[in-house]
Structure 1
Amino acid sequence: MSEFRAIRIDKSERGHHADYVVMCERDLMEGDVDMDVAFSAINYKDGLAITGKGPVVRRFPMIPGVDLVGRVTHSAHPDFAPGDIVIATACGLGEAHYGGFAQKARLSGDWLVKLPPSLTPARAMAVGTAGLTAMFCILALERHGARPDDGLAAVTGATGGVGSFAVALLAKAGWRVAAVTGRGGEADYLKRLGASEIIGREEFAVPGRPLQQQRFAVGVDTVGGVTLVNLLAQTQFDGAVAACGNVGGMELQANLAPFILRGVALLGVESVRPRIALRRAAWARIAQDLDPAAIDAMSEIIPFDAALDRARSIVTGKIRGRVVIDMGLNLPPGAAD
């Protein structure tokens, strides 16, 4: 039985502990598609799982890693065959099912999407759940009827993974983008992604009036809490905000005024459920809209041996953009960078 390396989270009398281990294929969980994992990526949720600072893991032991891309080695699913390069994001990975911080995975084929031809595996992981969530937000705004000529688009938490992709994707779609960030030193980075102006996070950090100056036609909020409340209060008539994050808190101490006096819409966006048709559409749009140079500008690639320490650092806000983990798999020509 083939052995492989993984980062495994265990919980015992000694408490919560994550470390590198050697496992066997028989240790993998149920699924109808086996694969060799080529790349994964570090998400905020992975950092919470590894450090135990958030109630992410729903069973122990657990292999973290919300995202992975790999080469199919065995399949009992009709949509996939050995040799296919496939992407998996969310769907309970790293929470209830072993995730991407391992050199092998066994997953349900219903969670998988084939890698678009124009994306390399590493760039797909640079996109990962963060970029997919950003695209879900933009698709939600478009379904609402929002268009670039409506006005300015705001993105909160703009230097984070979701925020960075939201800036780039909105700019690509023709929007003027205001990037809201607490990192003034990252202005050049955000402007390279397509932001037309930078707004300090402090303008959104304290409670304001229920209705404020109308500044934005739409927003993508990755923060939640008081930041979202202020963004709603500054959204113009018939505007919309797509909300997908909660690093600023789960509670929403909001007033009805933006909704019933300005007709502002709050669009909730989640990225966990499979919804494969939507995922395929989102990945196709990402492959079409995202410039490879933009993906590279907001990401870095690290070896698997460095993944554990970097995952711990994400919860302290020390990671900008996306960190991709190279699992050391040599993919066939045309499938790898």
Structure 2
Amino acid sequence: MTAATAGNIIPYSHVDQLREAKRIIEHEATALRNLALELDARFCAAVDQISACTGSVVVTGIGKAGLIGQKIAATLSSTGTRSHFLHPAEAVHGDLGCLRPDDLVLILSNSGETEEVCRLLPVLQRLQIPIISFTATGHSTLAQASKVVIPLGRMREAGLHGLPPSTTTTAMLAIGDALALVLARLRGFSPQDFAVYHPAGSLGRKLTPVTDVMRTGDSLRVAHEHETVRAVFGQALNPARRVGAVMILDDHDKLSGLFTDSDLARILASHQEQKLDRPIREVMTQRPITIRPDAVLSEVVDLLAERKLSELPVVDESGAPVGMIDITDIIALMPQSLQLNATAAR
């Protein structure tokens, strides 16, 4: 019996547990669908406010809403909107000093009447710092103090008794994600920008710039298209690093072709040694597949796997070569999921 098969066999005693779990997830999913249908111009007003903010988006909330606020602040920061979390209890004990006149405060509170949150409102009003809030309705103390309110509506929490925050915090998280990602698109936030903020871990490796992994300088094999194959391969190589492809240049120093060790082996295997004394342009691969210097590692892996390549020239906008990607260099850098794709290209 496989592990997958074993995982599908459910003891009778667990049936009720799974049924309840599915009801909870479906309850929250329904709430999110309704929330999506009810989003209106107030969401766009929040996007406009944050987009125009020249300072930081300071996110605050208490309890479970505060934990969701921390995640929203992190998502905003990682997608190009300067943001940090401010604990409301710490705020009234001196941390309000972190606020600046050009900041904006995003407050999460389902009831809109939470004591720790409401205590901040007079101070924020005195400082003339605009407030955006995620709260149940537009009638609470928090809503009345906010410049923009994104209402959640009267949601019932999930579970038998509907007590712990669940549906409401899920809704807050979804709206926060929507805000962050809409803002990222509005700012033209690119995968390259994202890579700057995520240099570590599996995600960071996928977003590693090509310029960080390509071979350059003395590690490259470069020849002119008028040179013979024998002359090109008779040149001394840098013993430190072996590159299995020669980038061929035209009279304007632009990449015109690629010649690999495999191409040389085919000439010898077919007993066409006379081609060794012919210009390399006659036997090179013309117009080879290339990649731009601003690409990221995941793009490289996809291209290597799709086209079954082992080497990939990196060229600038003018078509001049600036480096070479060799599959042997990048396999160790990649997450396992990408290694499988790259290995398939070899």
Q: TM-score, with normalisation over the residues of structure 2? A: 0.28
Higher strand share: 1
Whose RCO is larger (CA < 8 A, sep 6+)?
A: 1
